[in-house]
A and B are shown apart, each in its own frame.
Chain A
């Protein structure tokens, strides 16, 4: 019984960590700029494929593969900013949220298909995996899962330190809380938006590498984590980072338990059930504030 419980917990924490990473990227962009980035999934996928190319085709070490995914994600974020966001922001602010959502759906589809054209549709194996497991008495903890959890914890610490303790991070939070006031203080909000999109892209890139290391690389790789991340965001309250992490862990554990107890196909419906319940009883999310509009 402890074996089963342990397996559920390990699986739950691992997917929780991955969801948290995807969620934080999505939530950061929403919270600071009121932008629902529908291309987030494709950015995740991009990270996975870039790491694959760096490690398999170029024969470089795994660490360089990770770095490549981070750089590719950040670059994708920058391109998104210069090609789309900057221009849409010049229009009427009230139409930004809807326009940017539609535009990023298009970018996401284009990117996913560009990956399909380049690599083909057949699943590929992500060469970032460690065999074996850590044995602690009766417990068996696969190294692969431990690696993922460790990487995510490190990323979360880095992101929260960057947001909490640096001048750039304070400017990002200030922009999220009151864009006009931030501008009055001398914050160039366009630069903040660029930084946020690059940070979010970098997180998506690394997330893509790790998601694909648990499954396989395929062009729609990012869609499932992005969908889950969106659910986590709604449950936590859009734009709330600590809440997003808590929701990601909680819901992933719930998903694992339900998958074990009722069968794999009930995992996703159980998440949807939670979303519906939250939307009925706490429309602004479990940890959300009443007002979530920021633009």
Chain B
């Protein structure tokens, strides 16, 4: 993104280390995301992609390094991170199962300053994801996988955050639905949203991402443009199994 480098990054990770129990999953990751950028982290199953996003949003505690938003170091408390404008669309959607679609969306607007702002965001989400408007009164647990993903994304958008963290939006969906989901993400990116997305399959973000980081065993092993990675057969073979 031209000119973006001059401003301080929206999100900056400096050598972050974190994990569960006795084990470190991320072993010193640094990356920067500037306003309006689309950054993707790609890596095989179980190598720490979700852990990375959870650490940024505060669900997994930091063991080392630091994370800052607009140059301000994060407290590590998830609700305070949300207040700083981080909207995390988690893997598995994590919807409020016994709530309606509308209530899920309203929870996304929990921190919104007033009713007018909630209505404005709701209109925006319904315009982008018209199906949610039709299903607004349906209970989340009865939605199809694709509808759930849309609610998850819609709920993230309702947060009005400046940076969207999206975890494997294609997971468990039929190819046609995956295209629809990525179409929505592409529209968001074109509208200027800042996006950090993790994915297993680099081909999906080839035309979308400004930069791509390859994550292997908790460390970033390669960074560059998605097209460059796609041209490097030996990298694809080594890290992503061809």
- B57 touching A184, Cβ below 8 Å: yes
Shortest CB-to-CB span from B83 to chain A, Å, is 6
The residue of chain A having its C-beta at the shortest distance from the C-beta of B89 within the complex is A184
Q: Is B96's CB under 8 angstroms from A186's CB? A: no
> Is A184's CB under 8 angstroms from B78's CB?
yes
Closest chain A residue, CB of each to CB of B54: A180
Asked whether B108 is an interface residue with its Cβ less than 8 Å from the other chain, the reply is yes
Q: Does A183 contact B (CB under 8 A)?
A: yes
A177 contacts chain B at the CB level, 8 A cutoff: yes
Inter-subunit contact B79/A178 (CB<8 Å):
no
Which residues on the B side are within 8 Å of A171 (C-beta)? 107, 110
Residue A88 CB within 8 A of the other chain: no
Q: Determine if B59 is an interface residue (Cβ-Cβ < 8 Å).
A: yes
Given contacts A177-B96, A177-B98, A178-B97, contact A184 B59 (CB under 8 A): yes
Q: Which residues of chain A are within 8 angstroms of B59 by Cβ–Cβ distance?
A: 180, 183-184
Nearest CB in chain B: distance from A173 CB, A: 7
Q: How many A-B residue pairs have CB under 8 A?
A: 66
Let me know if A185 and B155 touch, CB within 8 A.
Answer: yes
Other-chain contact of B79, A170, A177, A183 (Cβ < 8 Å): A183
Q: Is the interface of A mostly helix, strand, loop or mixed?
A: helix
State the CA gap A167–B111 with chains docked (Å): 10
- Please name all residues of chain B whose beta carbon is closer than 8 Å to the beta carbon of A173 when the two chains form the complex: 96, 98-99
B78 touches A178 (CB 8 A): no
Q: How far is the CA of A189 from the CA of B90 in the complex (A)?
A: 18
- A188's contact among B79, B87, B88, B98, by CB below 8 Å, is which? B79
Q: How far is it, in angstroms, between the C-alpha of A177 and the C-alpha of B94 when the chains are bound?
A: 9
Q: Across the interface, which residues of B come within 8 angstroms of A187, CB to CB?
A: 79, 107, 110
> Given that A170-B103, A170-B106 are known contacts, is A185 also in contact with B82, CB under 8 Å in the complex?
yes
A182 touches B58 (CB 8 A): no
Cβ–Cβ contact A181 & B79, under 8 A? no
**Which residues of A lie under 8 Å from residue B33 when comparing CB positions?**
none
A174 interface residue (CB < 8 Å to B): yes
- B157 near A: Cβ within 8 Å? no
Q: Does B11 contact A (CB under 8 A)?
A: no
- A-B contact sample (20 more), CB < 8 A, given A170-B106, A186-B79: A167-B110, A170-B99, A170-B110, A173-B96, A173-B98, A174-B96, A174-B99, A177-B97, A178-B95, A178-B97, A180-B59, A182-B96, A183-B79, A183-B82, A185-B108, A185-B110, A186-B83, A186-B111, A187-B79, A188-B77
Closest partner residue, chain B, to A191 (CB atom): B79
- A170 CA to B103 CA, complexed, in Å: 8
Q: How far is the CA of A181 from the CA of B91 in the complex (A)?
A: 11
Q: A170-B103, A173-B98, A174-B99 are in contact. Are A185 and B159 (CB under 8 A)?
A: yes
Contact B110–A186 (Cβ < 8 Å): yes
Q: Which 9 A-B pairs have the closest CB atoms?
A: A186-B82, A183-B78, A186-B111, A181-B94, A177-B96, A188-B79, A185-B110, A184-B88, A186-B79
User: B111–A184 contact, CB under 8 A?
Assistant: no
Cβ-defined contact, A170 with B107, below 8 A = yes
CB-CB under 8 A from B97, the residues of chain A are 177-178
CA distance A133 to B61 in the complex (A): 62
Q: Which residue of B lies closest to A164 (CB)?
A: B103
Q: Which of A138-193 contact B (CB under 8 A)?
A: 167, 170-171, 173-174, 177-178, 180-189
Contact B58 A185 (CB under 8 A): no
Residues of B within 8 A of A174 (CB): 96, 99, 107, 110
Could you say which residues of chain B place their CB within 8 Å of the CB of A188? 77, 79
Nearest CB in chain B to that of A171: its residue: B110
Q: Are A180 and B79 interface neighbours, CB within 8 A?
A: no
Q: Is A181 touching B90 in the complex (CB atoms < 8 A)? A: yes
Least distance between A44 CB and chain B CB atoms (Å): 28
B103 / chain A contacts, CB cutoff of 8 Å: 170
Q: A174-B99, A180-B59 given as contacts; is B94 within 8 A of A185 (CB)?
A: no
Can you give 14 contacting A-B residue pairs, CB < 8 Å? Answer: A171-B110, A173-B99, A177-B96, A178-B94, A181-B90, A181-B94, A181-B96, A183-B58, A184-B57, A184-B59, A185-B108, A185-B110, A185-B159, A187-B107
A180 CA / B155 CA spacing, docked (Å): 14
**C-alpha gap A178/B103 in the complex (Å):** 13
